[in-house]
Amino acid sequence: MNADVLVRCRAAARTYGTGPAAVVAVHGASCEIRAGDRIAITGPSGSGKSTLLHLLAALETPTSGKVTWPGLAQKPGPDTVGVVFQGPSLIPALDIAENTALPLILAGQPEPAARGRALDCLALVDAAHLADKLPEEISGGQAQRVAVARVLAAAPRLILADEPTGQLDQDTGSRVIDVLVATADALGAGLVVTTHDPHVAGRLSRQWSMHDGRLQPVPPVPQDARPPTRQGDGQ
Ligand code: ADP
Ligand code: MG
C-alpha cells in the first residue's frame, strides 16, 4: 500500500548552524502521511513542528535521513503540497484576491478563472469581503484565513497548515478547521495541522506530538483501523 503514501520521512533530521551553536530542530523523524490522513501535531513552542512541516513540504532539506514523496509525480510544488505558513506570507503589493489567485495564475490558469476560484475560497473562510484590501489593511487573524484560502484554491494533494488558528478565537478557529477538513475530504487530500490548541487537535483523527525535536513514535495503523474517509482516497 505504497501508492497513496504522499510523503515518507525516514530518520529525517534538520540541524541549524554548526559547531557549539548548532540546534537540532528535528531529530531523526520517521513517519508516513497518506491521502485521507487527518493528523494534528502538537508540542510546545520550539519543539520543531514548523521545521518538520517544512521538511514534509521540501522547503527544507534534511541534514540527515530522507524525505520522499512516493505518491506525487514529482517534487512538491504549490499545486501538490499546500502550506499555510505560521507567519505572515501575503505579498504586500497585491490585494487579497490577487494574493489568493497568485498560485493559480503562476500555474497557468487564465486570470478570470483564477480570480473566480480565489473568491470562492475566500468565501469559504468568511473573507470574501476582504478581496479588494491590501494585506496591511487586514488583521493578523484575517490574514491567517486568507492564507488558508490561498492553499485551498490551489487544490493540493497534501495540505500542511502550521498553527492556522493561532490568531483566531475558538469559534472562528473551529470554522477554519471545518473548512480545511471538508476541503481535504473533497480533494481526497492528506491534512496535517500543527497546533497548541487541544480543541483543534481533537478535531483531527490522529495526533502526533513533538518534544525537543523528537516526533513521538507513530505506531503503524492497520488498514482496517484507519478512520473512514468520506469520498474515498485519491480522488
Ligand atoms: P516550533 O514550530 O515547534 O515552534 P521550530 O521548528 O520553529 O519549532 O523550531 C525548532 C528549533 O529550531 C527552535 O530551537 C528554533 O529556534 C530553531 N530554528 C528554527 N528555524 C531556525 C533557523 N532558520 N535558524 C536557526 N534556528 C532555527
Ligand atoms: Mg512553529
Ligand 1 mean position to 14 CA, how many Å?
10
Task: Evaluate: CB of 48 within 6 angstroms of ligand 1.
Answer: yes
Give 97 Cα–ligand 2 centroid separation in angstroms.
26
Q: Is 195 touching ligand 1 by the criterion CB < 6 Å?
A: no
CA of 23 to the centre of ligand 1 (A): 8
Q: Is the CB of 47 under 6 A from ligand 1?
A: yes
Degrees to nearest 5, angle at CA 141 with 84 and 149: 40
51 lines ligand 1 (CB under 6 A): yes
Contacts of 26 by beta carbon, 8 Å cutoff, 6+ apart: 12, 13, 14, 48, 51, 52, 55, 62, 213, 215
Ligand 2 centre to CA of 24 (Å) is 14
- Whole-number Å distance between alpha carbons of 219 and 207: 11
**Relative to the alpha carbon of 87, which ligand is closest?**
2
Interatomic CA distance for residues 180 and 186, integer angstroms: 10
Instruction: Give the three-state DSSP class for 102.
Output: helix
Contact 38, 180 (CB under 8 A): no
pTM of the model: 0.89
Is the CB of 50 inside a 6 Å radius of any atom of ligand 1? yes
**Pick from 42, 29, 34, 55: which is nearest to 223 by CA?**
34
At residue 219, the pLDDT reads 53
What is the per-residue pLDDT across 95-118, written as a single tens digit (0 to 9) for each?
Answer: 999 999 999 999 899 999 999 999
Ligand 1 pocket check for 87: Cβ under 6 Å: no
* Smallest-distance ligand from the CA of 86: 2
* Spacing of C-alpha 64 from chain mean position: 23
Interval 139-193: pLDDT, tens: 999 999 999 999 999 999 999 999 999 988 999 999 999 999 999 999 999 999 9
Give 23-41 pLDDT, tens digit per residue: 999 999 999 999 999 999 9
42-67 confidence digits (pLDDT tens): 999 999 999 999 999 999 999 999 99
63 to 46, 50, 82, 141, 142: CA distances (angstroms): 18, 16, 23, 34, 35
**Phi/psi of residue 222, each to 5°?**
-60, 145
Which residue ranges form the domains of the chain, and what is each CATH number? 5-71+78-219 (3.40.50.300)
What φ, ψ does residue 125 adopt, rounded to 5°? Answer: -110, 25
